[in-house]
Amino acid sequence: MSEKSLGSLEVYQTSLALSEKAWNVYLSLPKQFRFDMGSQFLRAIDSIGANIAEGYGRFHYKDKIKFYHNARGSLWEAKHWLYLLHKRNFLEQETFNLILDELNKAGKRLNRFITSTGAPNDQ
């Protein structure tokens, strides 16, 4: 069985696309709001892919799963910041809907990825 590369994983590619969208949101914010809300939003989104990458590089199943679960937590944190950015009128409805839809799709992909990783005695 050949091992997939990190870059070929759909769940990782999705996280990179989300990071690009988050970066554009960050750049669109007034400078005085970039440091607090913008930075938190950007770090939460970037953490999704970073945790997938770190888990992917781990050898033991429990280590992998811990980081994949951290990625899921970061995804939910990103939703929190997205809601606040929208509620405080920093995001147009269309942008909010687009990113929320992508986060929801990423969450489903991440859950499937976690399930597909399987416990060692499942293999």
**Stretch 52-63: mean pLDDT:** 93
Close Cβ partners of 66 (under 8 Å, ≥ 6 residues apart): 55
State how far the Cα of 117 lies from the Cα of 120, in Å rounded to an integer.
9
In a domain, 3, yes or no: no
> In 43-90, where do the E strands start and end?
none
Q: Does 7 reside within a domain?
A: no
71 domain-assigned: yes
Determine the pLDDT at residue 12: 96
| Residue 106 to residue 72: CA distance in whole angstroms | 9
Q: Is it the case that residue 2 has pLDDT exceeding 80? A: no
Domain assignment present for residue 4? The answer is no
81 belongs to a structural domain? yes
Residue 65 within a domain: yes
| 14-52 pLDDT, tens digit each | 999 999 999 999 999 999 999 889 999 999 999 999 999
Domain that holds residue 94: 34-116
As a residue count, the chain comes to 123
Q: How far is CA 88 from the centre of its chain?
A: 22
Q: How many domains does the chain divide into?
A: 1
Residue 118: the pLDDT is: 73
Q: What is the pLDDT of residues 80-105, one digit of tens each?
A: 999 999 999 999 999 999 999 999 99
Contacts 24+ apart (CB under 8 A), 83-91: 84/37, 85/25, 85/29, 85/37, 85/41, 88/37, 90/25, 90/28, 90/29, 90/33, 90/37, 91/25
Predicted pLDDT of residue 3: 57
Residue 23 lies in a domain: no
